[in-house]
């Protein structure tokens, strides 16, 4: 029996393309290998999250399924190429539709891929306290298209994953051992600067809720036409109380200046 002839004999046709026995066997082998690789990729992704103690099941399922789909898509394209069917030709035929659909889905795809990237590299995770622009947020969940955060005013907001991935974000939970609480105190131009500095320093040093591992800082930052501006820094070790700590710091400084007879600008 001539196996070469058997493999080259036409088995069926797809449109005007004749498919031989050899091509059919190659396609079957390619699809089997593709699905095995997709399954392995999915399991490896799940194990990656488990090793990093990720508890968000939605993130785990979404990321692992997305990676498996990419592997399957690559395998299917290879199988179609073996059959002589090129996806580029199909896309070219519907070019205008593909362009419009792609443009409409651009933001969705961008947010989806950004969400996967955030979950894989784990730079931001649920429970982290972050500073995004001038707003402090506690991350609750990282969804498929958006991340849910809670503000200092206890408001729940949705942030597109692409915006979170592309913005400059300070992760107070992960980057620093200490969280900085900073406030600016403008006092009247007629105030005794040395007295104000001493009062502010004594006030922050008396606070029992700031970290003892980092010294507070009191700096005369600048003079303006209307005031003398002092900047005060203290450090805390628990990012979750950062919102309320700034209020407590301002209250303590205002009370100390008021008792010392210092007028605020």
Percent of the chain scoring above 90 in pLDDT: 8
> Could you give the domains of the chain?
3-93 (no CATH), 124-171 (2.30.30.60), 179-259 (3.30.70.100)
- More confident position, 81 or 39: 39
Please give the structure tokens belonging to residue 17. 């393309």
Please give the structure tokens belonging to residue 213. 């591992």
- Do residues 166 and 218 make contact, with C-beta atoms less than 8 angstroms apart? no
- More confident position, 265 or 50: 265
Residue 6: pLDDT band (50, 70, 90) is very low
- More confident position, 92 or 191: 191
Residue that has been written with the tokens 């008396």 in this structure:
206
- Do residues 191 and 244 make contact, with C-beta atoms less than 8 angstroms apart? no
At residue 199, the pLDDT reads: 92
- Do residues 187 and 194 make contact, with C-beta atoms less than 8 angstroms apart? no
Per DSSP, the three-state class of 86 is: coil
Residue 195: pLDDT band (50, 70, 90) is very high
**Longest distance between any two alpha carbons in the chain, whole Å:** 109
- Average model confidence (pLDDT) for the chain? 75
Residue that has been written with the tokens 């005060």 in this structure:
232
Residue that has been written with the tokens 């891929």 in this structure:
113
pLDDT tens for 91-106 read: 554 554 444 545 545 6
- Do residues 85 and 14 make contact, with C-beta atoms less than 8 angstroms apart? yes
pTM of the predicted model as reported, rounded to 2 decimal places: 0.44
Contacts of 52 (CB under 8 A, 6+ apart): 122
Distance of alpha carbon 186 from alpha carbon 136, whole angstroms: 24
- Do residues 118 and 147 make contact, with C-beta atoms less than 8 angstroms apart? yes
């Amino acid at each position: 029996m001539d196996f070469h002839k058997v493999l080259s004999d036409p088995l069926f046709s797809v449109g005007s393309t004749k498919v031989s026995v050899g091509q059919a066997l190659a396609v079957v082998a390619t699809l089997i290998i593709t699905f095995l690789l997709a399954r392995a990729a999915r399991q490896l992704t799940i194990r990656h999250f488990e090793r990093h103690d990720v508890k968000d099941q939605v993130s785990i399922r979404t990321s692992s399924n997305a990676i498996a789909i990419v592997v399957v898509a690559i395998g299917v394209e290879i199988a179609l190429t073996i059959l002589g069917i090129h996806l580029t030709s199909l896309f070219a035929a519907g070019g205008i539709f593909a362009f419009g659909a792609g443009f409409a889905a651009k933001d969705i795809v961008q947010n989806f891929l950004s969400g996967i990237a955030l979950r894989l590299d784990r730079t931001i995770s649920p429970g982290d306290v972050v500073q995004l622009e001038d707003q402090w947020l506690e991350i609750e969940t990282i969804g498929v298209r958006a991340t849910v955060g809670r503000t200092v005013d206890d408001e729940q907001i949705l942030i597109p994953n692409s915006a979170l991935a592309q913005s400059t974000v300070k992760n107070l939970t992960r980057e620093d051992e200490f969280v900085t609480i900073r406030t600016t105190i403008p006092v009247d131009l007629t105030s005794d600067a040395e007295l104000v500095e001493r009062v502010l320093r004594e006030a922050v040093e008396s606070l029992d809720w700031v970290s003892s591992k980092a010294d507070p800082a009191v700096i005369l930052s600048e003079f303006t036409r209307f005031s003398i501006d002092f900047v005060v820094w203290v450090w805390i070790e628990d990012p979750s109380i950062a919102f309320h700590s700034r209020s407590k710091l301002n209250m303590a400084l205002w009370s100390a200046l008021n008792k010392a007879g210092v007028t605020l600008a």
